[in-house]
Amino acid sequence: MKTDTKLVTAGRPHGASPAPVNPPVVRASTFLFDSLKSFQTAAKTPFDGAFYGRVGTPTTFAFEEAICALEGGHRSIATASGLAAITATITAFAEAGGHLLVPDTVYEPVRRFCTRTLGRMGIATTFYDPSIGAGIAELITEATTLIYLESPGSGTFEVQDIPAIVDVAKARGIATAIDATWATPLYLQPLSLGVDVSIHAATKYIVGHSDGMLGVLTTNAAVYDKVRATAQDLGGCAGVEECNLALRGLRTLGVRLERQGAAALELAEWLETRPEVAQVLHPALPSFPGHEIWARDFTGSSGLFSIELASHDPDAARLFIDSLQHFSIGFSWGGFESLVLPMHPESRSLPLWEGLGPVIRLQIGLEAQDDLKGDLGQALDRLTAGQPDAR
């Protein structure tokens, strides 16, 4: 079955006539059983059907089924947010006195979780250069239990050599997990590359309308029970309404992502020609370091990328952002609207970002391309003039 067909059909009711186009929204904390025997039978396999609302309802299971079909995995698990999916995965493999390997370009809340929460539990984290590839073998210790990846990296979009890292991990018997939110399941298939757990902040492109917080992870058969048990223990269950919003978002994910990705790449190519821009951080650009790896492992690009301004004036980022009319300032991305946000990679050391201009992240939405291009152009012009337009 082709991906576009999966997007339309996965997680929908089949086999009954008549059946609704969309699965019903089942809101429940308690499920009732007609006998103690049926209750006890369900209790033996609480991950495999309606048992208690925190484990999921048929709406939750429909969403998990749809994502699993797209990821090509064993099972998927819905969580309360993308961060909840990540922390459940990392915790599943963490051990007292253990050691984790995490890219230095990781999403900042994940860094805080590793250093602040896991650190006080005696679990050490080494933050590595995302371009390390097979060289990660030199960082592995006897205590290493997980190699975590995020590709492209947050805000600066470094592309990791996933197969090379996975080969090293498998040779040492170490689990791997990746945050693949930028590419969605449509443009990257981590499990087919040997990764054990593929994670998505469904809040982004999967929900797609900036109105739901949701995470989802998909595993192979070998690690499913361990990850599912940890997600259950942590209690970060997905909301039924959010799962329904994500199912609805999936139906248009293909067409939204195709348009947003094409628009973003066209704008990125144009921004490379602007003298006010020192560099464009977009993996699909041939000029971007790691582009060859991106072209090998990914099948498309999404609508999120960054630019580094040529000006080193501390006020340049504010002047640029405050001049924009069609880009709103706000966290997150992946919705239908264009967004802008300053990034601060200067806090990282691998790779080193000292002495560079301000980095600004752009989320390209579904507005008219000419409007977005004109807006970016006038904001760049104002960097030279030195005056922002009144918002």
Sign of the torsion angle spanned by Cα atoms 320, 321, 323, 325: positive
Q: Is 2 helix (H, G, I), strand (E, B) or coil?
A: coil
Q: How many CA atoms lie within 13 A of 116 on its CB side?
A: 7
Active site residue 54: yes
Beta strands 144-150 and 99-103, pairing class: parallel
Active site residue 107: yes
Token digits of residue 19: 């059946």
Active site residue 44: no
Phi, psi of 46, deg, nearest 5: -70, -10
Whether 170 and 196 have beta carbons less than 8 Å apart is answered as no
C-beta atoms surrounding 155 within 10 Å: 23
Whether 153 and 281 have beta carbons less than 8 Å apart is answered as no
Q: Would residue 173 be called left, alpha or beta, if left means φ above 0 and alpha means ψ between -120 and 50 degrees?
A: left
- b/e for 81-101, b at 16 or more Cβ within 10 A? bbbbbbbbbbbbbbeeebbbb
Choice among 54, 226, 259, 373 that is catalytic: 54
Q: Would residue 125 be called left, alpha or beta, if left means φ above 0 and alpha means ψ between -120 and 50 degrees?
A: beta
Active site residue 297: no
Choice among 6, 75, 104, 107 that is catalytic: 107
Beta bridge partners of 215: 79
CA distance 77 to 56: 10
Q: Is 126 helix (H, G, I), strand (E, B) or coil?
A: strand
The structure tokens 């030195």 sit at 386
Q: Where in 195-347 does DSSP place strands (E)?
A: 197-200, 215-219, 277-281, 304-309, 328-329, 339-343
Choice among 6, 75, 111, 204 that is catalytic: 204
CA distance 346 to 372: 28
| CA distance between the termini of the chain | 48
Choice among 104, 129, 161, 179 that is catalytic: 179
CA distance 131 to 88: 26
Residues with a known catalytic role: 54, 107, 179, 204
